[in-house]
Amino acid sequence: VTVHRSDYRAPDWSIPDIALDFALGIDATKVGAVLSVVRDIDAPVPLLLRGDGLTPAAVRVDGEVWNDWRMEGSDLIVDLGERVAATVEIDTVIDPASNTQLSGLYASGGLLCTQCEAEGFRRITFHPDRPDVLSRYKVRMQGDKAAFPILLSNGNCIDQGEAGSDHWALWEDPWPKPSYLFALVAGDLVVNRDSFTTMSGREVELGIWVRDGDVDRTGHAMQALKDSMAWDERVYGREYDLDLFNIVAVSDFNMGAMENKGLNIFNTRYILADPDTATDVDYDGVEGVVAHEYFHNWSGNRVTCRDWFQLSLKEGFTVFRDQSFSADMGSPAVKRIEDVRLLRAAQFPEDAGPLAHPIRPDSFQEISNFYTATIYNKGAEIIRMMATMVGPERFRKGTDLYFDRHDGEAATCEDFVKAIEDGAGIDLGQFRRWYEQAGTPRLKLSLAEEGGHWSLDIVQTVPPTPGQPEKQPMMMPLRLAAFATDGSGDALADTLVMVTGATQRIALGTFAARPALSVNRGFSAPIIVDFERGPGELAWLAAHDDDPFARYEALQQLMLDTLVAAVSGKAGDNRAVIDAVGQTLEGAASDPAFVAEAVLLPSEAFIGDQMVTVDPDAIRRERLALQATIGAALETKWRAVLAGKAPPATDLSRKAKGGRRLRGVALAYLAATGADDASALAFRIFSDADGMTERQAALATLAHGDSDERIAALDIFYQRYRDNPLVLDKWFQVQAWSLRADTLDAVKELAQHPDFTLANPNRVRSLYGALTGNQAAFHQADGEGYRLIADLVIALDPKNPQTAAKMIPPLGRWKRFDDARAAMMRAELERILARPGLSRDVTEQASKSLLG
């Protein structure tokens, strides 16, 4: 069944109040729901309550046993006759232990917890379960004191007591919320407590709840939470609105985390961090996700979504907010580079493939399939463009108006755009196309000269995507500057131009010679720029551009051009790249983090994205060759980086993190040369490391090679961390990421390892997610990688369809590969689709992927 955005109708019934009563048990939890319902339309109409795997044990209306109900599929229809209001009571019994989908109420290692977004609440009790039905919740939970010493739900705990070997708690959330924000946790947990005083003086109690033994690893998350609370007050004027804010970390979780009102639930990997077990990247991930979920309290909870087609309203905006926060907490330039790298790695391929969809989709079969890089990351870019076009002060006026207008409401993307229009004073008429049209716009650029006056000619195209053969030109802010490379004449300083047309000419000014153009600075628009520039000009920009992102971009383009030429058999002189990398390394002392990002070679996947037909083997070969060439040519520089002492792992300053990152990059370049002592050096770094960043970087480098040190290091790492699931994930991941020729065999063996399990999504991603990110391994010419992933999808779908469906998109990229590979990829998609009883999640992803 396909749901269409245009079919939206306001709900017939609203539910101002809900009381839930949970009698907790791991394999039988009784749920009593009392819904106070009010009819919102004139004519009598039955009450439609969604269910998923539920049977009503009893139905009562206004206190009387009620028989006027029937099941329609898995939904419950209650006929309320002429009533305009009623109290509807429904009892159900659910089995959390057998809930392997991790949606609804489920058991995770003895703990009971919930995940309701998007449509999990209907797996707990019958309910309209649509985000435009908002209610005040009162939750009573009772259970065995020993099994469930801690009882948590949304809002404030207003009462508690004991009943024999049981105890109970009564929670009340004063803020009306949609069902997807409901949460409950019961189990044996310990807490890290702290507090925060809001700008108006409200004292908020903070709690981060984890398993016994993990509490020492919650300090960074707590600091991130307090920093987020202060940041949202300062930058958006948004204050927290309850006396209590709890976070619970659970090991089995389909996504990163969830913003339930007053009770966020997190994947442990985004809460737990200490220097011995978490890398600097992990630390940043914790900070960013804690901020993301906290920021949802306003962008998502106080103003929620009318329907799931509006998902990017809360996700795109909240990603933009967490990106801005992380930029403020660290290095804005490096953060921008990371965000753009992610966009190019995850979203551009999505936009160019069979699953392309606008940030506000027109239809879907299963909403869980739309928690995508397009909704989240491209969505964030669209918000960023609005902020760029109007500047920070006017953007703040727009967001103030948005929160003010829609507080307590279920809003639409259109409401957001209108608020920015009205509050910031800008016409976003044409800009709205970003919400309608999928596909990454392309700007083809060329320079023209007439009598010393230079101008930039732009040709804009937006490629066809499934269901959208024809496209209109987009409106976008393009930041640019021009430089006279010989130092003569005046340059054009940083300028923001609005691109609106399919073709457009922009006057740049008068220059004696062709200027070096710095374009899409800071990645002001999420587009692909086609602009032919020679290595000399790119090298000049990499050295001299005053926008750090543009310097990064110039060096990346130079590397990319070199690699693409080599892959197509036109290998040339690598001098320009070597010199540019060498020159960039000169800045290592002052900004090691930036330098580390800039000198990294583009990923194999991104190189592939530049080609009409991806040749994974040639890409692997040429990328390794260039890495070896640069490694050898600049060997003394890499050795100099590695000769210094690593900053202590407990030092999490920008500089220390950058220093460690650069050491990791230097080690990889040095190892690529095949230098005799490289493995010994990597092993020494691995052994001497006082923290996980250095240890993991050294292990990853060793894992590519063929040394005895590789086997030793993998074994030491395993023995040391076998009882720490998050670190064990890294052990699986580095092996699946290995550039070795036998990686597929290793993955097959690791899938049989006693520590491997399909029950834990993190573990599945650490092995199979890593494999699909390893281009040459996944696309091994005999099709074995495709078969492995299809086997996984088939095995995992009956247990956890959400996570199974996430593994399909890599198989859907068949159009970009040679006929032999494409045929094998399609055959695997067909094999998946032939399975009886496939979930809606996997059916939608596989059938759309097959269509191409």
CB of 215 to ligand ARG, least distance (A): 24
Judged by CB, which is closer to ligand ARG: 259, or 553?
A: 259
* Residue 462 near which of ligand ARG, Zn ion, none (CB within 5-8 Å, type-dependent): none
Whether the CB-CB separation of 47 and 209 falls below 8 Å is answered with: no
Give the x/- contact pattern for Zn ion in 256-295, rule: CB under 5 A. Answer: ----------------------------------------
Question: How far apart (Å, rounded) are the C-alpha atoms in residues 798 and 804?
Answer: 9
User: CA 450 → CA 447, 506, 519, distances in Å?
Assistant: 10, 13, 21
The sheet carrying 442-450 orders its strands as 503-510, 453-461, 442-450, 528-530
State the Cα–Cα distance between residues 34 and 43, nearest whole angstrom.
Answer: 24
The candidate with the shortest Cα–Cα distance to 276, out of 667, 678, 696, 791, is 696
Q: Which is nearer to ligand ARG, 257 or 428 (CB)?
A: 257
Among 668, 663, 790, smallest CA distance to 739 is for: 668
The item of ligand ARG, Zn ion, none sharing an interface with residue 258, based on CB under 5 to 8 Å by kind, is ligand ARG
Task: Using alpha carbons, select from 280, 267, 387 the residue that is nearest to residue 323.
Answer: 387
- Select the binding partner of residue 246 from Zn ion, ligand ARG, none (C-beta < 5 to 8 A, by kind): none
**Positive/negative CA dihedral, 550, 554, 555, 560:** positive
Chain Cα centroid distance, residue 55: 35
Q: Looking at 76, 258, 560, 792, which residue binds ligand ARG (CB under 6 A)?
A: 258
CB of 164 to ligand ARG, least distance (A): 37
Q: Is 255 in the site for ligand ARG (CB under 6 A)?
A: yes
User: To the nearest whole angstrom, how small is the minimum distance from the Cβ of residue 51 to ligand ARG?
Assistant: 18
Question: Could you tell me the strand order of the sheet in which 516-519 lies?
Answer: 492-499, 476-483, 516-519
Residue 224 and residue 242: Cα distance in Å, rounded? 18
For the window 455-484, what string marks contact with ligand ARG as x by the rule CB under 6 A? ------------------------------
Residue 296 beta carbon to ligand ARG: minimum distance, rounded to whole angstroms? 6
Least Å from the CB of residue 381 to Zn ion: 15
For Zn ion, the closer of residues 318 and 762 by Cβ is: 318
Q: Cβ of residue 806: shortest distance to ligand ARG, in angstroms?
A: 9
Residues 289-318, mask of contacts with Zn ion (x by CB under 5 A): --------------------------x--x
Q: Which is nearer to ligand ARG, 114 or 437 (CB)?
A: 114
Out of ligand ARG, Zn ion, none, what residue 117 binds, judged by CB under 5 to 8 A for its kind, is ligand ARG
Choose among Zn ion, ligand ARG, none what residue 254 binds, the Cβ cut-off being 5 to 8 Å by kind.
Answer: ligand ARG
Q: What is the DSSP string of 567-608?
A: HTT-----HHHHHHHHHHHGGGTT-HHHHHHHHSPPPHHHHH
Q: Between residues 364 and 371, which has the closer beta carbon with respect to Zn ion?
A: 371
Is residue 315 part of the contact set for ligand ARG (CB under 6 A)?
yes
Nearer to Zn ion, 291 or 516 (CB): 291
SS3 135: strand
Interface residues for ligand ARG in 94-123 (CB under 6 A)?
117-118
**In the complex, what is the shortest distance from the CB of residue 314 to ligand ARG, in angstroms, rounded to a whole number?**
7
Closest approach of Zn ion to the CB of residue 295, in Å:
8
Binding at 118: pick from ligand ARG, Zn ion, none (beta carbon under 5-8 Å per type): ligand ARG
Identify the CA nearest to 236 among candidates 265, 199, 289, 196. 199
Considering only CA atoms, which of 640, 540, 560, 548 is closest in space to residue 594? 548
> Is residue 719 within 8 Å of 740, Cβ to Cβ?
no
Closest to ligand ARG by CB, 103 or 556: 103
Residue 149, classified by CB atoms within 10 Å of its CB into exposed (0-12), middle (13-18) or buried (19+), is middle
What 3-state DSSP class applies to 20?
A: strand
Q: Is 66 in the site for ligand ARG (CB under 6 A)?
A: no
Kindly write out the interface string for residues 318-337 of this chain, putting x where it contacts Zn ion by CB under 5 A and - elsewhere: x-------------------
- Whether cis (ω within 30° of 0) applies to the bond prior to 618 is no
Question: Could you say which of 52, 259, 841, 844 contacts ligand ARG (CB under 6 A)?
Answer: 259
Select the residue interacting with ligand ARG from 20, 61, 88, 257 (CB under 6 A).
Answer: 257
Concerning whether 89 is annotated as a catalytic residue, the answer is no
Q: Quick check: 293 binds ligand ARG (CB under 6 A)?
A: yes
The answer to whether 241 and 297 have CB atoms below 8 angstroms apart is yes
Q: How many CA atoms lie within 13 A of 720 on its CB side?
A: 15
Stretch that binds ligand ARG, among 257-265, 663-671, 736-744, 831-839 (CB under 6 A): 257-265
Quick one: tokens of 593?
A: 């983090």
Q: Which does 334 bind (CB under 5 to 8 A by kind): Zn ion, ligand ARG, none?
A: none
- Cβ neighbors of 105 (< 8 A, separation 6 or more) are 29, 94, 96, 99, 112, 113, 114, 123, 124, 184
Determine the size of the site formed for Zn ion (CB under 5 A).
2
Q: Which of 157, 278, 145 is nearest to 207 (CA)?
A: 157
57: number of CA atoms within 13 Å, CB side? Answer: 10
Which residue, 257 or 577, is less far from Zn ion as judged by CB? 257
Least distance to ligand ARG from the beta carbon of 418, Å? 24
What does the alpha-carbon distance between residue 669 and residue 627 come to, in Å, rounded to a whole number?
A: 6
Catalytic residue among 259, 293, 537, 828: 293
SS3 readout for 326-347 = HHHHCCHHHHHHHHHHHHHHHH
Nearer to Zn ion, 346 or 426 (CB): 346
- Helix and strand counts by DSSP (H, E) for the chain: 29, 31
**Nearest distance, CB of residue 415 and ligand ARG, angstroms:** 19
For residues 367 to 386, the per-residue mask of contacts with ligand ARG, x marking binding by CB under 6 A and - elsewhere, is: -x--x---------------
Identity of the residue, 325 or 731, whose beta carbon is nearer to ligand ARG in the bound complex: 325
> Which C-beta is closer to ligand ARG: that of 376 or that of 717?
376
Segment 539-578, which members bind ligand ARG (CB under 6 A)?
Answer: none
Strand 528-530 and strand 442-450: pairing? parallel
For residue 726, the minimal CB distance to Zn ion (Å) is 21
Residue for token pair 């099994």:
147
Q: Residue 821: what residue type? A: R
Binding flag, residue 805, ligand ARG (CB under 6 A) = no
Distances (CA, A) of 173 to 121, 137, 186: 17, 6, 17
Residues 385-414 that bind ligand ARG (CB under 6 A): none
Among the residue ranges 26-34, 255-263, 537-545, 812-820, the one whose residues contact ligand ARG (CB under 6 A): 255-263
DSSP track, 106-119: EEETTEEEEE-TTT
CB of 106 to ligand ARG, least distance (A): 13
Stretch that binds ligand ARG, among 84-92, 202-210, 256-264, 596-604 (CB under 6 A): 256-264
- 3-class DSSP state of 319: helix
The footprint of ligand ARG on this chain (CB under 6 A) covers a number of residues equal to 13
The region of 252-260, 385-393, 409-417, 814-822 touching ligand ARG under the rule CB under 6 A is 252-260
Nearer Cβ to ligand ARG, position 322 or 553?
322
Does the footprint of ligand ARG cover residue 254 (CB under 6 A)? yes
749: which residues sit within 8 A by CB, 6+ positions away?
Answer: none
| Least gap, CB of 257 to ligand ARG (angstroms) | 5
Q: Which residues bind ligand ARG (CB under 6 A)?
A: 117-118, 254-255, 257-259, 292-293, 315, 368, 371, 802
Instruction: Give the active site residues.
Output: 293
Residues that bind Zn ion (CB under 5 A): 315, 318
